[in-house]
Every structure is written in structure tokens, then in C-alpha cells.
Structure 1
Amino acid sequence: MTPVETVQGDSPVILGLPHTGLDVPKDVWESFNETGRALADADWNIHKLYDGVLPGATTVRATFHRYVIDANRDPSDKSLYPGQNTTTLCPLIDFNDTPIYREGREPDEAEIKRRKRLFHAPYHTALAAEIKRVHSLHGLALLYDCHSIRSVVPFLFEGTLPDFNIGTDGGATCNAEVERIAREVCEAASGYSTTVNGRFRGGWTTRHYGRPDDGVHAIQMELAQKSHLAAEAPPFDLDPVKSERLRMLLADILTSLEQWALNHAGANNE
């Protein structure tokens, strides 16, 4: 089982894909209960949605499921959203607050450490290497972290999630123009809703790597799954009409961000 797949490109844009993987090692699978084995909280088909949208973009994709270990969590397991419901580095519950392990089979400290070494660390080693490589080519790198989630998840947030959820940790992880470009393209799209730094402010990946003063800009895009799936339930297939329309919009976002990055190549303090 290879924990990460990397496709190198020559664009200044890197697509992070930490939650599309469905692979689960046999020993972990055997410890899951029926809820865990449903693997419901993957970012279903997001890698297919973004495939080819920005030719030349580098992609770094985790192949393991987030129930094994969450590649978008702080390896120290520090909460991204103190005081709010969320899931942990090695989740014990799903997004409905339902246990995912058979009784007594939850991972202990040693097992969590093992999963960090085998899965979390290789993903971030690969991602960090691509950020360094792209930065060396262009004088900057723009990490766009790709995510999706069901539009209604009462355990995590109230009401219905907007279609586009842009996260920059309050503007700390990227140049203000990067956030503005993404927001304006989304807000101009008819029939979609958008928020910036709402319930999703950017996960550990965005916050860890986003260092605009060093020429590394990071932004997270959390898509509500109603914007591209036929149903937010098994088998979580892409809707061909909705997904093709969304792909055109994502191409506008990424092309605009790429052009900004190319215009500012070599200027670390933009």
C-alpha cells in the first residue's frame, strides 16, 4: 500500500488531496465496526472532479482513508477548532458522532504513533518536497487544498453549508489577493453560495504550510457535496451535469490563481 501518489507539474499551483483515499490496512479494517467500514466521510471523487482542471498543476494525494489517520490534522492532535465539535487525528467517531471501532479495538498511543509514521508523515514529506520544488522553479508556490463534505452535518455545524467554503485562517495563510480572487470567482457564479473563513477556516495543511512572507501561499476549498454529487449518500457518484458545470468554475478559480502566481513569481513578499 503506497500512502501517497504524486504527479509533478510545472505550474506554481499544487493541489493537495488529503481525504480522497479509500485504502485501509487489513488490521485496521478488522478493527472497524459496520459504521467504520462504510467509510462515509471521504471526500468522495474530489480527485476525479479536479482531474485535468488545471493542466500542469502538481497533485499530492493521500491514498489512505481519513479513518486510518487524518492527513489534515496536526500530528500533535491539537484541535483546529477549540470548543467546537470535530474529529481527531485518528478518529474514533464519524461525522454523525457514531463510533467507528468495534468495542475495545480503538487505537492506543502506540498504534497512533505507528500510523503517523506509516501514513501521515509520508504524505506530508511528499507535500513539503513538492512545495520546495515548485518554489524553486517559480520563487513561490501556491497550495490549493481540495476538500468536500456533506452539506448537512448537524454534529459539525448548524444548517446547510454553502457550496464554496474558502479557508485562509482569517487571511494568515496567503496573500490577500489569493483569497480575493477565489472569493470573487465563486461569488460571481450564478446558483452557488460562498463563504470565507466560516465554519472551515483551513485545516492543518493550510495553516502549517501557508507562509506568504516566505512565498508559500495556501488556501483551502471545502465544497459542499450537493454541488457535484448525484446524492450525498452511497455510492457517492459524481453527477455528470453538476460536476461538469462545477469543473468549469474550478478551472476559472485555478487559472486565475495560477496567473496571479506567475505574475508574482520570484517576489516572496507580495
Structure 2
Amino acid sequence: MSWLHVARADTPLILAFPHGGTYLPESDFRSDWIARRDTDWHIAALYDGLVEATTIRTDISRSIIDVNRDPSGASLYPGQATTELCPTTTFDGDPLYSDGAGPDIATRRERWFDPYHAALAAEVARLRKLYDRVVVYDCHSIRSRIPRLFDGELPELNIGTNGGATCDPALTEAVAKAASARSHVVDGRFRGGWTTRHYGRPLEGIHAIQLEIAIRAYLDEPPEITPENWPPRYDPDRAAPLRRDLARILNAALNFAKGPT
């Protein structure tokens, strides 16, 4: 499958990239720019080469199908604004489709969601045979201010473990310590998406954690986004300080996985 990329490594760390894709194989959106607006921009480049790990990423835009949502359609954040398995609005609440148009959810799930998670589950199983502990680290970024989703400005680093349910406390502590040079929070507004919650089974040796990065930490984020200024370009020099911090975080996760059980 040309849209799905799996690069295997024989270490007990998996990096998943569910929202970095921009490919829109269907063209019934109000505009391509609106459909791509909530992409985790340049997320694969941000993490590239920081640690030896298996990586899994999809080229499919999250506006086609969000592979980090519960496939049953249940909300990850009941009572709070969020987007669906096949979104019909942007983060800001703007409609993605013209009146009368909408997604074929069952077809999209079969075509893109299921293969993505089959690949991820296979890598978890492969590495679990080699190691007593495996860490699934879900890689995300988001605009720093989205009033519909949260009040004020996000911390730069937002660690999610679903209230400690998806990983050993020692992993949370190690990641939070490695993140301490920047503003950060554990299980704040973003507590981990479906990937973290589904795969995180610490009693079975599978530890899942999510890191949601406020985009201002590595890109020049404008106060208001327009088709002329969004997305910002990726500048390796601009991203370098965060990449150093992420290397510490990833190595903390890897050391936890390799450590004594």
C-alpha cells in the first residue's frame, strides 16, 4: 500500500504518526486547504533520525479518516468538542463538506483505518516477542490556540496516558522529567487518543503514551491562520532546539522499555 509506511527496527520502541498525512483521495471537500488545515504539520520531519525505532505513518489526511479515533464512533472526550472518525468539521467547527455531501464511513474504515491498525498491531506483536516491554509512542502536534477545543494556550508539551491507565508510572515520570525544560502537562486537555488507549496494556508489557506538541514549539505559528500563511514552512534550524528535547524524551522511553521489568 503506497499510502502506508512501515520502517522496522529491532528496538522496543514504536513511533506512530496518525495525522501527518495530506493526501485527499476524495475531492468532495469544500476546499483542499480547509481539509488539510488540521494536519500535524511536518511531524515526521520533526522526529526523523532522533532514535532507533520502528515507525508507522499514513499519507491519508485525517479529514478522510482519523486513525486515532474510536472506530465505534464513541467520543474520546465526552462532553467536550472533538472531531469524529470521519470528520465533518474542522477543529474550529467549520464544515468540511458542502450541504448534502459527507463521508462513506464504512468504506473509509475498511480501506484505510483497518490496514493502518493491522500494521501497528503486527509491529507490537513482533517486538513483544523480542522484549518484555514495548513502548508505543504516538506523535502529534496541534495549533497552540483553538478556542473551540480548549481555553487559552496549550503548554508546549502535552503528555497523555489516559490518567495513567496506558503505561507504567515510571514511563510517565521518565518522559515528564525529560520534558521538564519546556512547559508541559500530564493528562491535561489531551489524555491520549484511541491508539494510546487501545494499545496501552501495561500488565501485558505494552506501554502506550502520546505526546501532543503545541506547534509554536517548532514552527513560526501565526496568530490567525490563512491560506497565505498556513502551513508554516519547516526550518531545521528553527526546529533544532525541540528536536534535542525530543531526543531526550525518546531515549527516556527507550531506556524504560529496555530496563528491568
Are 2:231 and 1:219 aligned? Answer: no
* AA of the residue aligned to 1:134: L
233, 237, 240: which one aligns with 2:233:
237
SS state at 2:65 partner? coil
Match of 2:190 in 1: 200
38, 59, 63: which one aligns with 1:63:
59
Match of 1:103 in 2: 99
CA distance in 2, matches of 1:167, 1:62: 21
Q: Would the aligned equivalents of 1:73 and 1:88 in 2 still touch at CA under 8 Å? A: yes
Match of 2:48 in 1: 51
Unmatched runs of 5 consecutive residues or more in structure 2: none
1:240 positional shift: 3.0
Match of 2:13 in 1: 13
| Superposition RMSD in Å | 1.3
Are 2:218 and 1:228 aligned? Answer: yes
CA distance in 2, matches of 1:140, 1:240: 33
Q: Would the aligned equivalents of 2:35 and 2:90 in 1 still touch at CA under 8 Å? A: no
Q: Would the aligned equivalents of 1:168 and 1:219 in 2 still touch at CA under 8 Å? A: yes
% identical aligned pairs: 46
* AA of the residue aligned to 2:7: V
Match of 1:186 in 2: 179
Q: Would the aligned equivalents of 2:161 and 2:210 in 1 still touch at CA under 8 Å? A: yes
- TM-score between both structures, scaled by the size of structure 1: 0.91
Q: Would the aligned equivalents of 2:39 and 2:61 in 1 still touch at CA under 8 Å? A: yes
* AA of the residue aligned to 1:222: E
1:34 positional shift: 2.2
Higher helix share: 1
CA distance in 2, matches of 1:241, 1:226: 14
Unmatched runs of 5 consecutive residues or more in structure 1: none
1:239 positional shift: 3.5
- TM-score between both structures, scaled by the size of structure 2: 0.94
SS state at 1:137 partner? coil
CA distance in 1, matches of 2:69, 2:45: 23
Match of 2:258 in 1: 262
Match of 1:246 in 2: 242
Q: Would the aligned equivalents of 1:35 and 1:98 in 2 still touch at CA under 8 Å? A: no
